Amino acid sequence: MADNRGMMEGIGGPVRMDQYSLNGIDPALDACCQRELESNRKYNALTSTLQRHDRIATAEERRRHARNLVKTSNFEGCRCCYDPNSDGGGDYRALIEYKQLKRQDEDQVQAQDEDAYGMSLREKAPTSVPDRPTESETDSDDDSDFDYLLDDDDLPGASANKQWEEARKAELEYQIWSNQVAMQHGFGVHRQHHPARVLKVAGIKGPKEVSSANARQPPPAVVLHLLDADALSSASLDYYLENTLAPANMGTMFLRAPGRGALQWNADSPRMKGTLIGQLEPDRDLPCLIAIRDGVVVNVCPNLREFSHSRDGEGEIESHAVERWLNQTGVLIARAPPVETLCYVRPEEDALNSYLGANTNISSKKAASEKAEIDYYCCGLEGCQKTFYHEHVGVETSEQSGLVVKEETVLETEN
């Protein structure tokens, strides 16, 4: 008998309920406050499960995510995570050179494989061409006699299979969309952030923010690289994180930022006080890899010493050592978080922006229509926007002479 614990009854079978985490709750809180936080997380898990199976809620969620996207210099992401004016810096010099070397090595390996494959084909090629088959050998039954077997409409259970295929297709489409939304919020991709914002994006909390019940929930797992733009170890680490670890761990946020700038920008920040990051020295410990779990710094690797054969951490890193170190810290999560927990733009803020945007569009259209309907008086002077009859003194145009007293009036008085 199937085990349906932790599942709710749904149309067509039980529906698995989203899991909730009790990590990050301050043990110093009172018992009533802890129970309130636990009940809130259980309620959020139940609500997200119901919304995931609600078509209207899913369509509204897609519209909301599409409206909150912003474009940086290198990628597109949600405005709750990225600042288009500061985030999204390009590759630094050491990483550009390292990628060029890797590309050359891959081209050489591909050329060698193609040469080896061509030699194997030449060795396996037959020395003589076989005789062509006769008409009696090629004569067979007409395939059109068995075409009825390919018609699914006449098979038993065809409608049920079609419904199952449509449901499976919708499930795969939703999974692809949810992974895309997770990537737009920094999960499963390796992104560069501004040094002043990187600790905030990583979810590192100060003492006051941790104890707050209404505080913004940090990402479940973050890998932060405080890089050195001239170090080969930083370039090799970023290349490995970007191409191997990040795509395989959709539940982890991978970040990087200039290390010296990040430590100097956040020197007085409460996010560094009392944490392992606050003990780092720019001249001694950079580049550095930091593992963060639920807003708490669980481990740091100064100067990337544990990933290199040399004591000073110079040279290329060992990829298996990086993966083992991150697995031990528990920050590699393969499954992406639920879509409902990704965006930090509040619904009331989103509704306010939509209302202001709609009013702005209406007012601009109304102003444009009013401007088009205004009938200006043709006085002959270009750029004049007066709607009543008037004359310009001292300006001769096709419609007026520009004189205060007309010549006709002077001639009449003389006569």
With respect to residue 21, please indicate whether it lies within any of the assigned structural domains: no
With respect to residue 330, please indicate whether it lies within any of the assigned structural domains: yes
With respect to residue 393, please indicate whether it lies within any of the assigned structural domains: no
Which CATH number belongs to the domain containing residue 283 in this structure? 3.40.30.10
Could you give the number of structural domains in the chain?
1
pLDDT one-digit tens code per residue, 82-122: 777 767 667 778 888 888 888 888 878 877 777 776 677 66
Reading the chain (415 residues) residue by residue, the pLDDT tens digits are 444 444 444 444 455 666 666 776 777 778 888 888 888 888 877 777 776 666 666 676 777 777 767 776 666 777 777 777 767 667 778 888 888 888 888 878 877 777 776 677 666 666 555 666 555 555 555 556 666 666 655 555 666 677 778 777 877 887 888 888 888 888 888 888 888 888 888 888 765 554 444 556 788 889 999 888 888 888 888 888 888 888 888 888 898 888 888 888 877 777 777 677 777 888 888 888 989 888 888 888 888 888 876 665 577 888 888 889 998 888 898 888 877 777 777 666 666 666 666 555 555 555 555 555 667 778 777 778 777 777 777 677 777 776 666 667 666 665 5
> How many CB atoms are closer than 10 A to CB 333?
18
User: Residue 321 in contact with residue 171, Cβ under 8 Å?
Assistant: no
- What's the confidence (pLDDT) of residue 53? 66
CA-CA distance, 258 to 395, in Å (whole number)? 64
- What's the confidence (pLDDT) of residue 27? 75
With respect to residue 256, please indicate whether it lies within any of the assigned structural domains: yes
- Which residues constitute the domain of residue 325? 54-90+182-347
With respect to residue 310, please indicate whether it lies within any of the assigned structural domains: yes
CA-CA distance, 83 to 71, in Å (whole number)? 9
The two tokens of residue 272 are 């560094």
CA-CA distance, 316 to 24, in Å (whole number)? 35
| Selection from 7, 81, 127, 56 nearest residue 344 by Cα | 81
CA-CA distance, 91 to 227, in Å (whole number)? 11
CA-CA distance, 247 to 242, in Å (whole number)? 8
- What's the confidence (pLDDT) of residue 10? 45
With respect to residue 261, please indicate whether it lies within any of the assigned structural domains: yes
With respect to residue 131, please indicate whether it lies within any of the assigned structural domains: no
Q: Is 219 exposed, middle or buried (0-12, 13-18, 19+ CB in 10 A)?
A: buried
CA-CA distance, 232 to 390, in Å (whole number)? 76
**High-pLDDT (> 70) share of the chain, %:** 62
- What's the confidence (pLDDT) of residue 364? 55
Q: What is the CA radius of gyration of the chain?
A: 34
Strands 221-227 and 253-258: parallel
With respect to residue 39, please indicate whether it lies within any of the assigned structural domains: no
- What's the confidence (pLDDT) of residue 7? 47
The two tokens of residue 253 are 């946020």
- Cα–Cα distance list, 369 to 95, 98, 254, 320, 362 (Å): 53, 57, 49, 65, 11
| Selection from 202, 289, 190, 179 nearest residue 244 by Cα | 190
Three-state secondary structure along the chain? CCCCCCEEEECCEEEECCCCCCCCCCCCCCHHHHHHHHHHHHHHHHHHHHHHCCHHHHHHHHHHHHHCEEECCCCEEECCCCCCCCCCCCCCHHHHHHHHHHHHHHHHHHHHHHHHHHHHHHHHCCCCCCCCCCHHHHCCCCHHHHHHHHCHHHCCCHHHHHHHHHHHHHHHHHHHHHHHHHHHCCECCEEECCCCCHHHHCCCCCHHHHCCCCCCCCCCEEEEEEECCCCHHHHHHHHHHHHHHHHHCCCCEEEEEEHHHHHHHCCCCCCCCCCCHHHCCHHHHCCEEEEEECCEEEEEEECCHHHCCCCCCCCCCCHHHHHHHHHHHCCCCCCCCCHHHCCCCCHHHHHHHHHHHHHHHHHHHHHHHHHHHCCCCCCCCCCCCCCCCCCCCCCCCCCCCCCCCCHHHHHHHHC
- What's the confidence (pLDDT) of residue 370? 55
- What's the confidence (pLDDT) of residue 9? 46
- What's the confidence (pLDDT) of residue 30? 82
Residue carrying structure tokens 């038993």: 156
